[in-house]
Chains A and B, each alone.
Chain A
Amino acid sequence: MRPSRKGQMRILEAVIATTILLVAFTAFYFMLYSSEKFFKQEAVDLNRLSYNALMYLVESGVVERALSSSAQAGEAMLVKTLQSILPSNVFFDLTIVNVTEASSRNTVMSVSNAVSAVFERSGEVASAKAIYTSSRGSVYELILKLAVAGAA
């Protein structure tokens, strides 16, 4: 049976090489997939999420209705809308500033679902800004900050 030893060794070496390559491919796939998923949800798209949220508020007419309502009703409307469109583990802070007159910046509304310390402590904070002209011609600056709950 001596001549067959050579063949057995070849098979054993092939099995070992295949195992190494399989492990490498698995690690390759896992690392790429997991990193993309991680950043999409927690870091990168937080910025885009903030812009999308702002655009939704503007285009759906929520901001127009909020500005034409009383401050209390308007703020409640904004909080309700933001809570419905953002994931539950995301903190938000929206400030609306009247910038119609170049000389003065007057904060007309400010809503949040977290204390300010949350945004200072969080490792992942995104901020977006939009300009908004109401039907009455007043110009407002909308600033939305988002933070992921638990991200340090």
Chain B
Amino acid sequence: MRPIRGDKKGQFIIIGAIIIAVFMFALTLTISQMNVQRQTFSFEPVDEIVITVSSDFERCLQSAFSKASQGYLQSYLVEEQPEDSGARELLDGEVRRWLNAVSSAYSGYGINVTFTADRESGSCLGLSLEWSEDRGTSYVYTTFGLDVTGYGLEGLALTKSIRVDLNILEAKMSFAGDRGKVTMKFTISEKVNEGRPTKPSIKGISVVAEGGGVDESSIKLDYLGQGVYLVEFETTSLAVREVRLAVTTDKGAVVAAKKGLCVMELKSDDLSTPGEDNEGTFTVNGTTFSPGSAISAFPDQILHVTFSLDGELPCDLSVSGPLDVIEQSGTSATIRVLHRGDGRIAALYGVQTSRCFVNVSSRELNGESFGKGVIVVDGAEYSLSRTENGIVTLEVPPNSTISVSYSPERGYVFRYWEASGGLVFSGPSSQNITVTVVGNGSLIAIYEPSRNSSWQTVYLSPLRPQGQGQGHQHNFTLTLNPEEGEIKPPISYGQPSPCGNSDERTPSDLMLGDVIKISLYARATSKGSGGLDLKVSFGYYDYESTFHLIGSDTKRIEKSSEYREYVFELTVDPSMKVIPKGSKLVLILERADQDPGGGTIQIQCGSNKSRIVLW
């Protein structure tokens, strides 16, 4: 029997299998060891440090924001125009303390924390407490930079912000004896970083009434649903000029807003006797008042007023100030409050004389000047500056009707009419009114300066301002889309013209100068030719989004490697002297030369660069 020698090839197979098995065993052992090395000794908690520090910065920011807004609240409740410098100091102090603690706690990790809120001002933390309107905002923001050099992490930047908004939707004043009862509906929302706005829980409410105290025990808060809250409280006076509402969220942040009222004097006057008599009684929305008293109401509130007097035949009701008579019948009237201010409701009665004297004049809203502008009465024009004491005295028969209009001087805009005595008219905010003269009286046109200095120079900017206008009040920016850094609108035929409009709407009527100067720091790049003709048009969208062109000018932008200043001068048509309140400024750039070649105009933006000077 031959020994089993088999085939040598079979032995090689076994040897090959053994070699493969040994190799796999060695590989497995190596992988296992690498696993151990990596996980046991090379654990680098960089993710954990980033999460821990950045999330704690949010808590720090929230705490600092709460302290800053609470600090500001103390002065807001007692001062008309509080300074927010104290709030900023509180904010900076809290964050600085946190920064020291973090540096100390992570000293061995090479941690470096930086804050950048505003590239223009160079400030580290942005803080805005805008509580001066019926929409209040508390806002803090920064870009949080974190380096952990010990683990090679550099350049991490996170935007951190907290914004709380308060919006007073509706306010009403009713009367209960000698007390006023205020009801306000409002919404509050909170937005953290880029998250969606949420409704925060309310921890506390503070209310201040200027012109009368607030009964703290009467403050009641209810949630009506749909994000709307209702707060009710009583004032110790009926003549309240302003109500300030401050809300503290469950996290301690405070936001406030305020609403102004119209304070109305109730008067009665026997026209047959000199001076005011203040006889009879007024009934306003069901509550009885004696003449001589003052009441207040919020804008848009409707008042049902009735005057009654025993033994006399009342003649009429005369209304002046920011009040509009919706309906009137004898001594009963339905009146709408237009805006905050001082008003007067007078009941006029008694025997008439054969002639009535009406004094017509004008006065600046804050009383700084008077007797400016032109009054037109039944077609006759009177320049008040040329009359004695700025007053025109008219002599008219009783119960006659005269039409009066007022044109303010350049640089001023008409606001409303004020009347006293035996004058009856409606629509006090209209420049043209029809007045029924039932007795002697005076009529005053109220005007105010039309120029808001912060809007005199409007800078072009390719970037939207960060923080929704925080810190930009002094430099309003007109945003041109869509390029960043520089605007490079390709200007050629057949393409839509580059157009930019202001982010914000004009806060008041803006009286323009004779010429609008538009300075563009620009350069042209074009093929072959020496430059491009650029037509610049300027106008505005009014509150109904209707476009109005003010003027345009064309200049040649030279081909150059450097930016040069080109000043476009737009002559303002006299009919376009005023940009109405609530408008958006619009700038349109068009190519005006006939060169069919392509080209680009680059416009440089930034501080003291391309801008529009309105007057």
**Which residues of A does B touch, CB under 8 Å?**
5-6, 9-10, 12-14, 16-18, 20-21, 23-25, 27-28, 31-32, 35-36, 39, 43-44, 47-48, 51, 54-55, 58-59, 99-100, 102, 128-137, 139, 141
Asked if B549 is at the interface (CB within 8 A of a chain A CB), the reply is no
Is B100 in contact with A102, judged by CB distance below 8 angstroms? yes
Interface size on B, residues (CB 8 A): 49
Report A-chain residues with C-beta under 8 Å of the C-beta of B59: 132-135
Is A27 in contact with B101, judged by CB distance below 8 angstroms? no
Is B39 in contact with A27, judged by CB distance below 8 angstroms? no
**Which residues of B does A touch, CB under 8 Å?**
4, 6-7, 10-11, 13-14, 16-18, 20-21, 24-25, 27-29, 31-32, 35-36, 39-40, 43, 45, 48, 51-53, 55-56, 59-60, 62-64, 66-67, 94, 97-98, 100-102, 104-106, 251-252
Give bound CA distance, A19 to B340, whole Å: 97
Given A55-B51, A135-B63, A31 and B29 touching (CB < 8 A)?
Answer: yes
Q: What 6 pairs across the A-B complex have the smallest Cβ distances?
A: A9-B6, A13-B10, A24-B21, A44-B39, A17-B17, A139-B101
Give bound CA distance, A23 to B24, whole Å: 11
Report B-chain residues with C-beta under 8 Å of the C-beta of A23: 21
Name the distance in Å between A50's Cβ and chain B's nearest Cβ: 9
Is A130 in contact with B252, judged by CB distance below 8 angstroms? no
The closest CB in chain B to the CB of A132 belongs to B56
Report B-chain residues with C-beta under 8 Å of the C-beta of A141: 101, 105
Is A24 in contact with B51, judged by CB distance below 8 angstroms? no
Give bound CA distance, A13 to B18, whole Å: 12
Given A27-B25, A55-B51, A100-B97, A135 and B105 touching (CB < 8 A)?
Answer: no
Is B14 in contact with A20, judged by CB distance below 8 angstroms? yes
Is B40 in contact with A128, judged by CB distance below 8 angstroms? no
Report A-chain residues with C-beta under 8 Å of the C-beta of B67: 137
Q: List 12 A-B contacts (CB under 8 A).
A: A13-B10, A17-B17, A20-B21, A21-B21, A32-B28, A47-B43, A48-B48, A51-B45, A54-B52, A133-B56, A135-B62, A135-B252
Contact of B13 among A6, A17, A24, A27 (CB under 8 A): A17
Give bound CA distance, A137 to B64, whole Å: 7
Give bound CA distance, A24 to B64, whole Å: 63
Report A-chain residues with C-beta under 8 Å of the C-beta of B51: 55
Give bound CA distance, A44 to B37, whole Å: 10
Given A6-B6, A13-B6, A32-B32, A134 and B43 touching (CB < 8 A)?
Answer: no
Interface of B, helix, strand, loop or mixed by DSSP: helix
Give bound CA distance, A126 to B514, whole Å: 76
Report A-chain residues with C-beta under 8 Å of the C-beta of B31: 32
Name the distance in Å between B71's Cβ and chain A's nearest Cβ: 12
The closest CB in chain A to the CB of B42 belongs to A44
Report A-chain residues with C-beta under 8 Å of the C-beta of B11: 13
Name the distance in Å between A141's Cβ and chain B's nearest Cβ: 5
Is B63 in contact with A35, judged by CB distance below 8 angstroms? no
Give bound CA distance, A44 to B94, whole Å: 37
Contact of A99 among B40, B66, B105 (CB under 8 A): B105
Name the distance in Å between B61's Cβ and chain A's nearest Cβ: 9
Name the distance in Å between B247's Cβ and chain A's nearest Cβ: 17
Give bound CA distance, A27 to B101, whole Å: 52
Contact of A28 among B28, B43, B48, B101 (CB under 8 A): B28
Is A35 in contact with B32, judged by CB distance below 8 angstroms? yes
Give bound CA distance, A44 to B42, whole Å: 10
Give bound CA distance, A61 to B365, whole Å: 55
Give bound CA distance, A47 to B43, whole Å: 8
Given A9-B7, A44-B40, A47-B43, A16 and B101 touching (CB < 8 A)?
Answer: no
The closest CB in chain A to the CB of B33 belongs to A35
Contact of A43 among B24, B39, B45, B106 (CB under 8 A): B39
Is B14 in contact with A102, judged by CB distance below 8 angstroms? no
Is A13 in contact with B35, judged by CB distance below 8 angstroms? no
Extra contacts, 8 of them, besides A20-B17, A43-B39, A55-B51 (Cβ < 8 A), are A12-B6, A13-B10, A31-B28, A35-B32, A129-B52, A131-B106, A135-B59, A135-B252
Is A137 in contact with B63, judged by CB distance below 8 angstroms? yes
Give bound CA distance, A6 to B251, whole Å: 88
Give bound CA distance, A25 to B52, whole Å: 43
Q: Tell which of B27, B39, B55, B101 has the most Cβ of chain A within 10 Å.
A: B101
Given A14-B13, A100-B101, A134-B63, A36 and B35 touching (CB < 8 A)?
Answer: yes
Is B24 in contact with A25, judged by CB distance below 8 angstroms? yes
Give bound CA distance, A16 to B62, whole Å: 72
Given A132-B56, A139-B98, A27 and B18 touching (CB < 8 A)?
Answer: no
Is A133 in contact with B25, judged by CB distance below 8 angstroms? no
Give bound CA distance, A137 to B71, whole Å: 14
The closest CB in chain A to the CB of B57 belongs to A133
Give bound CA distance, A99 to B101, whole Å: 6
Report B-chain residues with C-beta under 8 Å of the C-beta of A48: 48
Given A35-B32, A43-B40, A51-B45, A133 and B60 touching (CB < 8 A)?
Answer: yes
Report B-chain residues with C-beta under 8 Å of the C-beta of A21: 17, 20-21
Name the distance in Å between A19's Cβ and chain B's nearest Cβ: 9
The closest CB in chain B to the CB of A36 belongs to B35
Report B-chain residues with C-beta under 8 Å of the C-beta of A133: 56, 59-60, 63, 98
Name the distance in Å between A39's Cβ and chain B's nearest Cβ: 5
Is B6 in contact with A131, judged by CB distance below 8 angstroms? no
Report A-chain residues with C-beta under 8 Å of the C-beta of B97: 100, 102, 137, 139
The closest CB in chain A to the CB of B16 belongs to A17
Contact of B251 among A10, A35, A135, A137 (CB under 8 A): A135
Report B-chain residues with C-beta under 8 Å of the C-beta of A44: 39-40, 43
The closest CB in chain B to the CB of A52 belongs to B48
Give bound CA distance, A12 to B45, whole Å: 55
Is A131 in contact with B4, judged by CB distance below 8 angstroms? no
Is B14 in contact with A39, judged by CB distance below 8 angstroms? no
Is B101 in contact with A13, judged by CB distance below 8 angstroms? no
Report B-chain residues with C-beta under 8 Å of the C-beta of A130: 52, 56
The closest CB in chain A to the CB of B32 belongs to A35
Is A20 in contact with B18, judged by CB distance below 8 angstroms? yes
Is A9 in contact with B25, judged by CB distance below 8 angstroms? no
Give bound CA distance, A131 to B13, whole Å: 63
Report B-chain residues with C-beta under 8 Å of the C-beta of A24: 20-21, 24-25
